[in-house]
Homo-oligomer: A and B are copies of this chain.
């Protein structure tokens, strides 16, 4: 039988030596022997481009060609595959991936923003060029959810895909629930621990999770998606008291991403904080862990849980893509040829139909609840429960107290209109807080 070591090596050019880039080099060097057997041929890193050549990353970069400009990797005729680990939807990463495909090189990337925003153009170009473009590490780090949806569930029609897709938000919410501390305080701690970026906006405002959700929905439903159609709401507005009241009601609060294929062929694409019942599978996913579930007509419910980030898990995912390419994987970028995709029609926020948690801060005086209930009734919003945390009202000083409402399923538009009217009541002291409830 043939010896994989004597086969033609697959030659890589790696762009970016951050946590993931350095991790990929370390993993491929550490496990070179078994990787050769598993890839069927040697995998050689022949060139690298990154910002700082001299930084000590604990990996051996001798015998590897260094380019200061990542675009030089695309121009190097000896390179078979470009591994893009720079990140960012636009700028140099974007330029490099296009240059690589145009130079007839396959691409492996961990860049969720690039795939979410430019994936459709890239898929067309890759198909024209008959080139592979793999991106397992772009969603949920070490959890092989791209491969699962694209290959393992490919015969099925998925109806729902959802999950906890951002470890930073999950860590912050888990810590807020545990300590009762305010968002800003926990965010600062999270940044010190290295679980949040110096500019945390992409994570905490929900865009990172939305990028991932758009990618999963494209793969799972066979749709081209315009990223702007994803409804996105981050976790900045979450107050520790909401985590506390949610707990009293038997729920936890998590940032979730939910994609659903409706019977009318429209899809729902939402990223937002949600109340999950304590016994929901996603409710127990804590800290930086990620989890993704799928529901298919034939495959039923499947859930994957693991490390959503970190050097080792993400490097394992990038290396799996590289080994797939060494083996000659020819699956199109979105799991189907371009003609197998249909453009998504995305359901607008006004048509969301859920149960809701509402917190109103009110001046505690007789008749408040009646006024609120009347407005809700006028807007056809029906209540499942009402929790009033009143303190004793004195004659001289009116106390401000929270009223917690849980609605039955209702159209979001109606509820938003009701809340607008409620906010105008003189007893309401703050903008009402509204958090969607996710029953599954």
Chain A, residues 270-313, CB within 8 Å of chain B (1/0): the string is 00000000000100100000000000111111111111001111
- A60 CA to B317 CA, complexed, in Å: 41
Number of copies: 2
Contact A156 B340 (CB under 8 A): no
Contact B320 A296 (CB under 8 A): no
Contact B327 A331 (CB under 8 A): yes
Beyond A1-B127, A304-B302, whether A154 also contacts B340 by CB under 8 A is no
- A37 CA to B336 CA, complexed, in Å: 5
- A278 CA to B89 CA, complexed, in Å: 44
Which of B1, B128, B301 is within 8 Å of A339, CB to CB? B1
Q: Does A344 contact B (CB under 8 A)?
A: no
Contact A302 B142 (CB under 8 A): yes
Which of B142, B147, B157, B337 is within 8 Å of A299, CB to CB? B142
Q: Does A395 contact B (CB under 8 A)?
A: no
Contact B340 A155 (CB under 8 A): no
- A312 CA to B306 CA, complexed, in Å: 25
Q: Does A153 contact B (CB under 8 A)?
A: yes
Name the CB-closest residue of B to A3.
B339
Hey, which chain B residues are within 8 Å of A34, CB to CB?
Answer: 157, 222, 336, 340
Hey, which chain B residues are within 8 Å of A40, CB to CB?
Answer: 330, 332, 337
- Residues of A in contact (CB 8 Å), total 67
Cβ of A114 to closest chain B Cβ, rounded Å: 21
Contact A320 B37 (CB under 8 A): no
Contact B316 A306 (CB under 8 A): no
Q: Does A4 contact B (CB under 8 A)?
A: yes
Name the CB-closest residue of B to A310.
B300
Q: Does A368 contact B (CB under 8 A)?
A: no
Q: Does A83 contact B (CB under 8 A)?
A: no
Chain A, residues 125-158, CB within 8 Å of chain B (1/0): the string is 0011000000010000011100110011111110
Which A residues fall within an 8 A CB radius of B? Answer: 1-4, 23, 27-28, 31, 34-35, 37-38, 40, 127-128, 136, 142-144, 147-148, 151-157, 222, 281, 284, 296-307, 310-313, 315-317, 319-320, 322-324, 327-332, 335-340
A-B contact pairs, 12 of them (CB 8 A): A1-B127, A31-B156, A34-B157, A34-B222, A37-B337, A37-B340, A152-B316, A154-B323, A298-B311, A298-B316, A300-B306, A302-B307
Having A27-B298, A327-B329, A328-B328, one finds 12 other A-B pairs with CB under 8 Å, namely A34-B340, A37-B222, A40-B337, A144-B148, A144-B151, A152-B316, A155-B316, A155-B323, A299-B306, A300-B313, A301-B306, A302-B306
